[in-house]
Structure 1
Amino acid sequence: MAARPGALEVMQDAAVIPVIVLQDTAHAVPLARALLAGGIRMLEVTLRTPVALACIEAIAKEVPEAVIGAGTVRSAADAQAAAMAGARFAVSPGYTPAVGKACHDLGIALLPGVATGSEIMMAQEDGYTALKFFPAMQAGGVAMLKAWHGPFNDVRFCPTGGVTLANAPELLALPNVACVGGSWLTPADAMERQDWPRITRMAAEAVALKRRA
């Protein structure tokens, strides 16, 4: 069985974690290979479609060099299903102790979603200090992350939600940002057309983004 990474390892692997919504299982493996070819191996497949778990399973089996994770994990049952499909990490839009405990018990890394100071404190109480800031741009963006750096200077964030190639550099320049999450790497039209070279080019552009040392 492939090793399961820690949350900070997931966040530090590349400047961007792609947020992937798959509508067709046939697209899962070629998409994963296209992202890998561009230098991105941490892949978050969101549990927003009926085929999401099948896509996670296909990538886990056929593209072992990718590190497949499940996004939109909202319950312990979601975490269990994702782990059984082969997910090696989980990403949640918010945080509850039940989701945190489930991921801990399953031995999979969790990037819990937070949007307020109280949510950060709740996640920290359960041992989580590598967090997803969601929805980042709608909830304050760069200004909020700067404000959080004082009281929460031991927390690293992955801002997700409204992040683009254009605004990612400003976020990545912040000392408390380890990476960003973005859906722009896997546009629906490119997947519908199976334009995998385009996705590889976009992944390479994302990998080239500079993060604060």
Structure 2
Amino acid sequence: MIPKAILVVLAGLSLGACVTAATPEPAPEATLKPRDRELLARAPYQKASIPAPYQRHIVDYHRNEAPGTIVVDSDARFLYLVLPNKKAIRYGVTVGEEALAFSGIAKVGNMAEWPGWTPTPDIHKRIEGLPAHVAGGPENPLGARALYLYANGKDTLYRIHGTNQPEYIGTAISSGCIRLTNEDVIDLYSRVKTGTTVVVLAPGTGQPSPMSGAKVAGLGNN
């Protein structure tokens, strides 16, 4: 998976809350293709009420990653897309349970719209009765888009993807992957490309979850 040396570096990173205003950022309608509108209209789940902190925002960003980098704070359940001028788009996410969580530095090695899903042998062991493959569509756990994370030229088997369970945004229940609402992952997908750097911070090095009572608006580097 990810070299231990990289994990040690990540474990040493500290994040401080930056008390700044966060500006809601609706997804531009242009990111939705006709197929997206058709499939989302047939989604087999209720439209979830995403808590305000986990709705998409533009925030101040005070770490040193270059614009275009994706940074995931699993502790706070946030994904940041770094923008120029010390800003970032912040998305709410579902992350992996602690024993299953991924951390490290990776690249987006592949990208897919409405991807199919082939459960790994480990997932088959943990969840009985899964099919060998699930075709792409609104019933698929990968949702509307998937970014496949690679390290050292190899597929890590971890993904950033959509979801058919938007009600769990802001929690840690996944099998290690990072889930966004389908609308948010479509927006993110439209802004990144293959080769994008992805930094997933090690557990315990991020901010507290805003749902635990902490006031969180931005991401600091102190």
In terms of fraction of residues, the more strand-rich structure is: 2
Which is bigger in relative contact order (C-alpha 8 A, separation at least 6)?
2
Same fold? TM cut 0.5: no
In terms of fraction of residues, the more helix-rich structure is: 1
Which TM-score band (shorter chain)?
A: under 0.3
TM-score, normalisation: structure 2: 0.23
